[in-house]
Structure 1
């Protein structure tokens, strides 16, 4: 379900918070690549039973931030983001994605 939330942080245009995809602007609802990226995150969240996803995501971000000392590099190297960015333009990805494919990106 898509929700428009204008108060998302400046650097965030969309965010997947199971079971919602939050969009900063209504016109992003037509951006199929962005929506596919967020749907990949929703699948990851389902697989990890939601709460463990957020814990893993946060802890990995901290580790990557210590590793790279740069927010953007840390964010882009979180395994969940690597999977989503790698496959966001493949609109059949979620149909062929196997269970716990995230392990390939760890």
Structure 2
């Protein structure tokens, strides 16, 4: 389910996924198929890790990347979950053939 809330999406971002919801900053973003696909990839990742461990892994990996890159945006873009989502967001059929735990190949 896609919900619109400019207050729940952190500043500087256009969408965020908190299973089972996708929150977008603006209603017009629902038409952005690449963005919606990106967020659906995160839904699959969250399911594979049974939701709570996904968030733990995401935060820990983010801080490790932040120590490495010393740059917020570079750290965010190099999280394995984000790397997989960005690399495949334009392939709207990606989730149909995506291997289980495929984010681990993006580490």
Write the distance in 1 (CA, Å) between the matches of 2:103 and 2:86.
12
Write the distance in 1 (CA, Å) between the matches of 2:105 and 2:70.
24
| CA deviation profile, 1:23-56 (whole Å, cap 9, x unmatched) | 0100000000000000000000000000000000
Segments of 4+ moved more than 2 angstroms: none
1:83 corresponding residue in structure 2:
84
RMSD: 0.6
* TM score, norm. by length of structure 2: 0.97
1:3 corresponding residue in structure 2:
3
1:59 corresponding residue in structure 2:
60
**Runs (5+) with no aligned partner, structure 2:** none
Write the distance in 2 (CA, Å) between the matches of 1:66 and 1:100.
25
**Runs (5+) with no aligned partner, structure 1:** none
Q: How many residues align?
A: 106
